[in-house]
Amino acid sequence: MALQILPPLISACGKVATTFIVGSAGKKIVDTLQSNNKEDTPQPSEEFKQRSNGLKQENEVLKNKIKELENDIVTKEREHLLSLLKGKDEIIKLTEHYKKQQQEIEEQMNNRLIEKDNQIISLQNQLNQLKDESITNSSNQEIYFKWGPTIVCVIVLVISVLFHLTK
For the chain, the domains span: 2-166
Model pLDDT for residues 58-82, shown as the tens digit of each residue: 888 888 888 888 888 888 877 776 7
Mean pLDDT of 77-105: 78
End-to-end CA distance of the chain: 13
> 0.75 cut: is pTM over it?
no
Mean pLDDT of 27-41: 72
Q: Under a CB-based contact definition with an 8 Å cutoff, are residues 123 and 48 in contact?
A: yes
Q: Under a CB-based contact definition with an 8 Å cutoff, are residues 84 and 91 in contact?
A: yes
- Between 112 and 79, residue with greater pLDDT: 112
Residues of the chain with pLDDT > 70, as a percent, come to 81
What is the maximum alpha-carbon separation in the chain?
126
Nearest Cα neighbor of 32 from 152, 144, 141 is 141
Model pLDDT for residues 122-152, shown as the tens digit of each residue: 888 988 888 887 766 666 666 677 777 788 8
Q: At what angle do helices 42-83 and 2-40 cross, to 10 degrees?
A: 20
Nearest Cα neighbor of 77 from 90, 95, 89 is 95
Helix residue ranges, H only, the chain: 2-40, 42-83, 88-166
